[in-house]
């Protein structure tokens, strides 16, 4: 049976600087895409993947982001923040611009209403609706900021903020950040700006495809690291998100003088552990998020890992209760 080691123990073993910020107290969903579309916020709003394929993230980590090639999407169980509540949606995207899909308003994220027209009741983050940029559609109102998405097909960080207490409740009160910077240029396209945000609960969160069947407006490119908050984050917090380090590089490997070798690495079949004089009594293999995916208590020279999904893992080597080593293992 799978277990989760406590976050305190995990942080003692690792440099626990990834995936967690002090302002995460108002986080409602978190999709780091560690080889799946699970919600790692603790609220269980997990995703089901329809056609999107795992790919490298912006750091080159395997199976740590999703690729959408124009007919793919991921659907969660529940909506995001609804009605006129404040919200922040942070994500990384690599947007393909060579497919002739400009001006179609391809979908990054959508939820709320499923029917037309329901002014204010659909909430959608989209690309290139009538001009090059990232924008918001709330049904009957579209508001796009110029973000030069056509300049290069590279990973960029986008944050969309709606603060009900500061902004007007109209879609034009939305703030959009690109790579940590607030885009203050005039919107390149805006119509029906008098429509207020009033997101319905009818359709759950969905990535890569619109909620209205007649206009799927599929996404072309790669998406990663969605964080959804039911509060409005400020520029300092958004800068922290933009500068989040590589989650696997920030984890310290440990070797308590035993010269532990783990090979072959990467692998996708059998991994062996060799060690000097010290005795191994048990080994755990953990996911990046600290879940124990395999426990072994014998034959450490032939550990079958062919059942593990490709991605980055950690091998925790024990002598009884004592940690001997913690080593990174890449499953291909
Ligand atoms: Ca990721
Ligand atoms: Ca596909």
In a domain, 142, yes or no: yes
Q: How many angstroms separate the CA atoms of 72 and 65, rounded?
A: 14
Ligand nearest to the CA of residue 66, numbered in listed order = 1
Instruction: State the chain's mean pLDDT as an integer.
Output: 87
318 vs 152, which has greater pLDDT?
Answer: 318
Q: Is the domain of 266 the same as that of 222?
A: no
How much is the average pLDDT of 55-76?
94
Distance 50 CA to ligand 2 centre (A): 8
Q: Which of 242, 271, 289 is the last residue of a domain?
A: 242
Ligand nearest to the CA of residue 92, numbered in listed order = 1
Which of 43, 42, 61, 64 has the alpha carbon at shortest distance from 53?
64
Q: Is the domain of 262 the same as that of 236?
A: no
Q: Is the domain of 210 the same as that of 267?
A: no
Distance 225 CA to ligand 1 centre (A): 5
CA distances (Å), 279 to each of 143, 156, 324, in order?
63, 47, 9
Q: Which of 204, 219, 242 is the last residue of a domain?
A: 242
pLDDT for res 167: 63
Ligand nearest to the CA of residue 74, numbered in listed order = 2
Global pTM reads 0.81
pLDDT for res 132: 82
The range of the structural domain enclosing residue 301 comes to 254-331
Which stretch of 122-126, 132-136, 200-204 has the lowest confidence by average pLDDT?
132-136
Q: Is the domain of 210 the same as that of 278?
A: no
Ligand nearest to the CA of residue 34, numbered in listed order = 1
Which of 48, 324, 88, 94 has the alpha carbon at shortest distance from 229?
88
Backbone angles phi, psi at 171, to 5 degrees: -60, -30
Distance 18 CA to ligand 1 centre (A): 11
Cβ atoms of 113 and 84 within 8 Å: the answer is no
Q: How many angstroms separate the CA atoms of 210 and 134, rounded?
A: 15
Q: Is the domain of 113 the same as that of 207?
A: yes
In a domain, 86, yes or no: yes
How much is the average pLDDT of 53-78?
95
Into how many domains does the chain fold? Answer: 2
Q: How many angstroms separate the CA atoms of 80 and 163, rounded?
A: 15
């Amino acid at each position: 049976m799978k277990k989760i080691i406590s976050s305190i123990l995990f942080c003692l073993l690792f440099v626990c600087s990834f995936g967690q910020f002090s302002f995460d107290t108002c986080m409602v969903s978190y999709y780091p895409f560690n080889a799946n579309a699970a919600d790692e916020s603790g609220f269980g709003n997990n995703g089901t993947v329809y056609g999107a394929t795992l790919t490298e993230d912006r750091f080159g980590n395997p199976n740590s982001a999703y690729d959408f090639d124009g007919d793919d999407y991921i659907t969660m169980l529940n909506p995001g923040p609804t009605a006129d509540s404040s919200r922040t949606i942070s994500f990384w995207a690599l947007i393909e611009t060579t497919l002739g899909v400009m001006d179609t308003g391809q979908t990054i994220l959508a939820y709320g209403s499923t029917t037309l027209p329901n002014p204010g009741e659909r909430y959608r983050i989209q690309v290139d609706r009538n001009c090059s940029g990232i924008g918001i559609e709330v049904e009957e109102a579209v508001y796009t900021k110029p973000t030069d998405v056509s300049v290069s097909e590279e990973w960029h960080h986008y944050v969309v903020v709606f603060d009900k207490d500061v902004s007007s409740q109209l879609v034009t009160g939305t703030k959009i950040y690109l790579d940590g910077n607030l885009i203050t240029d005039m919107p390149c396209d805006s119509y029906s700006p008098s429509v207020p945000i009033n997101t319905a609960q009818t359709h759950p969160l969905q990535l890569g495809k619109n909620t209205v069947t007649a206009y799927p407006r599929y996404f072309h490119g790669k998406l990663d690291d969605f964080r959804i908050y039911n509060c409005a984050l400020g520029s300092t917090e958004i800068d922290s998100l933009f500068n989040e380090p590589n989650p696997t590089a920030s984890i310290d490997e440990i070797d308590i003088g035993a010269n532990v070798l783990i090979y072959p690495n990467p692998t996708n079949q059998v991994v062996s552990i060799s060690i000097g004089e010290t005795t191994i009594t048990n080994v755990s293999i953990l996911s990046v998020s600290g879940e124990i995916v395999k426990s072994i208590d014998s034959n450490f020279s032939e550990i079958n890992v062919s059942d593990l999904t490709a991605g980055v893992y950690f091998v925790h080597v024990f002598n009884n209760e004592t940690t001997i080593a913690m080593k990174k293992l890449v499953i291909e």
